[in-house]
């Protein structure tokens, strides 16, 4: 709390929420025990939603095995660098969003509730590490189309925007009242977009991200896609859906390679 022991890579696209997590832990315990407990909670909630997703398609026993396998894979995924990464804290929100998306697709979910989950999740992502919010780009388009067909596009959009604003507004208001909102924008967003891409044009930024693909991120993603396609192949989905899911999953894995 006196400027010592800063968060690693603190300049690299990390938002104010990650500093609150570390700062409050150190204030209360003079250590990072609270961070460890939050990591444990994030993994546990991730297990729950991975189980809830899987059990929509397969037996409860197989779904439980998958939820255990998720923890094993996460604990050995090099990108997390031994823990304390924003992606860990965001994973439960990603899996929760996927769960509500699938429920809505199967006709048992609510467009408004899905919008709230998406908005809350995107707000948390923006406050943790803003580029991680890109995860929701395709799911938002997909759910909007589903909601439009059901005549629920307005409730979904309104709930999504409201939940995101309510999540982000308190910290933005704090920065505004402190007179440093412009500094926050320039230091957190503007600087990091230019730094992360290392270029001035959109084309050069994209090309630089492609060149910086890391093998420790690429190799697990290749395995993840192959394992996913095998799972899709053994599922009861129609052939057209299998091709669509495999293609969409490949795009996801390629996107993760560009930025974990």
pLDDT digits (tens, 9 = 90+) for 86-105: 888 898 999 999 999 999 98
| DSSP labels, 224-242 | HHHHHHHHHHHSS--HHHH
**How high is the pLDDT of residue 162?**
97
Tokens found for residue 89: 């804290």
Indicate the burial class of 98 (C-beta count within 10 angstroms; 0-12, 13-18, 19 or more): middle
User: Can you list the pairs that 166-170 forms with residues at least 24 positions away whose Cβ atoms lie under 8 Å?
Assistant: 166/119, 166/123, 167/119, 167/120, 167/122, 167/123, 167/124, 167/127, 168/123, 168/126, 168/127
3-state secondary structure of 81: coil
Q: What crossing angle do the helices spanning 153-177 and 111-128 adopt, rounded to 10°?
A: 30
Q: What is the pTM of this model?
A: 0.78
Other beta carbons within 10 angstroms of residue 218's beta carbon come to 15
How far is 133 from 119, CA to CA, in rounded Å? 10
Three-state DSSP class for 127?
helix
Is 179 buried (19+), middle (13-18) or exposed (0-12) by CB count in 10 A? Answer: exposed
Closest CA to 247 of 227, 231, 230, 225: 225
d(CA 84, CA 35): 7
User: What is d(CA 232, CA 242) in angstroms, rounded to the nearest whole number?
Assistant: 6
Q: Distance between CA atoms of 142 and 57, rounded to whole angstroms?
A: 20
CB 81 within 8 A of CB 7: no
How much is the pLDDT for 260?
42
Spatial distance between the Cα atoms of 155 and 140, rounded to a whole number of angstroms: 13
CA distance 196 to 189: 10
pLDDT, mean of each 10-residue run, the chain (260 residues): 52 78 86 87 92 92 89 72 78 94 89 95 92 86 89 94 95 91 83 66 69 68 86 87 84 61
């Amino acid at each position: 709390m006196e400027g010592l022991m800063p968060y690693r890579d603190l300049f690299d696209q990390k938002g104010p929420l990650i500093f609150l997590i570390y700062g409050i832990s150190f204030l209360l315990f003079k250590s990072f025990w609270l961070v460890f407990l939050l990591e444990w909670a994030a993994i546990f909630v991730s297990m729950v939603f991975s189980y809830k997703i899987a059990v929509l398609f397969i037996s409860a026993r197989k779904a439980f095995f998958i939820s255990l396998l998720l923890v094993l894979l996460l604990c050995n995924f090099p990108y997390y660098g031994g823990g304390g990464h924003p992606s860990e804290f965001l994973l439960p929100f990603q899996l929760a969003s996927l769960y509500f998306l699938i429920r809505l697709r199967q006709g048992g979910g609510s467009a408004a509730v899905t919008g709230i989950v998406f908005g809350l999740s995107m707000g948390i992502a923006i406050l943790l590490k803003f580029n991680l919010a890109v995860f929701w780009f395709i799911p938002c388009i997909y759910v909007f189309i589903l909601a439009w067909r059901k005549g629920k596009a307005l409730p979904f959009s309104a709930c999504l925007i409201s939940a995101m604003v309510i999540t982000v507004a308190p910290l933005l208001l704090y920065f505004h009242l402190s007179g440093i909102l412009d500094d926050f924008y320039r230091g957190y967003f503007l600087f990091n977009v230019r730094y992360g891409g290392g270029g001035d044009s959109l084309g050069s930024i994209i090309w630089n991200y492609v060149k910086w693909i890391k093998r420790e991120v690429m190799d697990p993603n290749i395995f993840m896609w192959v394992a996913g396609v095998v799972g899709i192949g053994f599922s009861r989905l129609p052939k057209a859906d299998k091709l669509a899911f495999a293609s969409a999953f490949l795009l996801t894995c390629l996107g993760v390679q560009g930025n974990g």
